Amino acid sequence: MGQTCRLCQAMPLYLPTRGQLLPPIEGLTMAEGAHRYCFRGDWLPFSVTGIVSDLSPAARKQIERTKDGPDGWELRGTSIHAILEQHLRGIANEGLTGVVIDERWAQWADPLLDHWLWRDCTVLAVEMQLCDPLKRVGGSFDFLVRTAQGNTVLGDLKTVTSAAALKSRKPAGPQLGAYVSMLATWFPLITVDKCVTLVSAPGECEVKVQEPAVCVAAWEEAWERHQAAELARGF
């Protein structure tokens, strides 16, 4: 903390208006499938999701067991994220982009796309890649919108299979905190007013709201744990 990244000063200093999206970070790419980020020719060894994960070995094993196949969580998550991305890009394009919904995902998509968060909002970014070159971390957030009330909201979408899972799903505070920090570095004119974890379940959608400062503190704690683990492994 307290360090200045000289590589992070090249982004235009303006606030996007309706119909505009934040520009991508020059030189930042992600390898599809591998979920690895490359910044200006250098592979970043860490990802936000990898750092904030606090799953036990047993939980990791269970997640891997239910990941693949037509009923796996990966296909569900990818499909519903793609639906929301189409929807938000359509709003950013003043409704000129339609949304194609497979009937299989309609139970998730209908309440998600009808959520109050999107009503009269201005879309600032969708599925945006960010990085922290000093920490050598990359990550992508799902959406950044300005609500009808004028609040700038940074969000992450999570999908679950039941109402019970929706209620018990923890907010993605540390993950969102990483994106708040990276946004402040690359786009200093953007002030995030609220962080939200949007949890999508069949037939319902719930938003879990957190203060950005709380999320940033949680991210810094996760980063410190990560550094301690790296040192313990001899890195």
Question: 25 — phi, psi (to 5°)?
Answer: -75, 125
Task: Note the pLDDT of residue 1.
Answer: 44
Distance (Å, rounded) from C-alpha 218 to C-alpha 96? 39
What domains does the chain contain, in order, with CATH numbers? 17-232 (3.90.320)
Instruction: Give every CB contact of residue 78 below 8 A, 6+ residues apart in sequence.
Output: none
Instruction: Give every CB contact of residue 192 below 8 A, 6+ residues apart in sequence.
Output: 144, 152, 153, 154, 180, 183, 212
Beta strands in 102-151 (DSSP E): 122-132, 137-146
Distance (Å, rounded) from C-alpha 138 to C-alpha 116? 30
Task: Note the pLDDT of residue 10.
Answer: 47
Looking at the chain, how many residues does it have? 235
pTM listed for this prediction = 0.86
Ordered mean pLDDT values, 10 residues apiece, the chain (235 residues): 53 55 94 86 94 68 57 77 93 72 90 94 96 96 96 96 91 97 95 97 96 98 92 77
